[in-house]
Amino acid sequence: MKVDIWSDVRCPFCYIGKHAFDKALAEFPRREDVEVVWHSFELDPQLKTQPELSLYDFIGQLKGLSPEEVREMHVRVSEMGASQGIFFEFERAVVANSLDAHRLIQFAKSKGMADKAEEALFEAYFSEGVNIDDPEALVRIGTGIGLREEELRPALASDALTAEVRADERQAASLGIRGVPFFVFNGKYGVSGAQPSKVFLKTLDTAWKEFEKENTVTVIEGDTCTPDGICAKN
């Protein structure tokens, strides 16, 4: 069974949602039979990277709020993160466009390492104050999860992976996805937002039962021969 996840590494709820989903998946009895596929979703494709501007100042300017009001907004998010073992350092976050980070994820996906890339990028952005639009920082993150530098550098230097990002975003638009995180279970059950683990676990169970039913073959018995040479009438 497949679970598709649309996410942006600039989204704190995507980070929280990932941890809640990971916890649910770890408790799911058939977890080895679940394929998780990460998809790109840019919250602000036109965002200009501004390393000199704090995240609080950026959001304040964007929404017309004071730094104190912005900090207050993030208290609940920090509390939600702590409940999932995430410790946000919003004061250190660098205002940065996420396209190249998504391109790194797409490359990692081709190597079966998208989940590791997502986790590393979330931590880099929200906890370590890394500029996720800096090519050298992305190479360090990529090699840190086991990607080969000699393959990663040329991939990030070209625009080839951008097409994969855009394809994910077109698919999101076709499904009516307007915000992230967004989870699709077995192509049929959508879950929006950073839900509690129990919601993800219940959805996994529901989707699995339907998946199992869809992939069960009804057998009408007849005369057969087996590989050991035994032929019998039924």
pTM for this one?
0.91
Question: What single-letter amino acid sits at 19?
Answer: H
Q: What H or E segment, with its residue span, contains residue 63?
A: helix 55-63
Domains of the chain with CATH codes: 2-214 (3.40.30.10)
Please report the pLDDT score of residue 231 as a whole number.
Answer: 74
Give me the half-sphere count of Cα atoms (radius 13 Å) on the Cβ side of residue 30.
17
Is the distance from CB of 84 to CB of 19 less than 8 angstroms? yes
3 state DSSP class of 221: coil
Question: What single-letter amino acid sits at 189?
Answer: Y
What are the distances in angstroms from CA 85 to CA 22, 89, 135, 145?
Answer: 12, 13, 28, 20
Residue 182 CA to residue 192 CA, distance in Å, equals 5
pLDDT tens across 160-219, in order? Answer: 999 999 999 999 999 999 999 999 999 999 999 999 999 999 999 999 999 999 887 666
pLDDT of 222 higher than 80: no
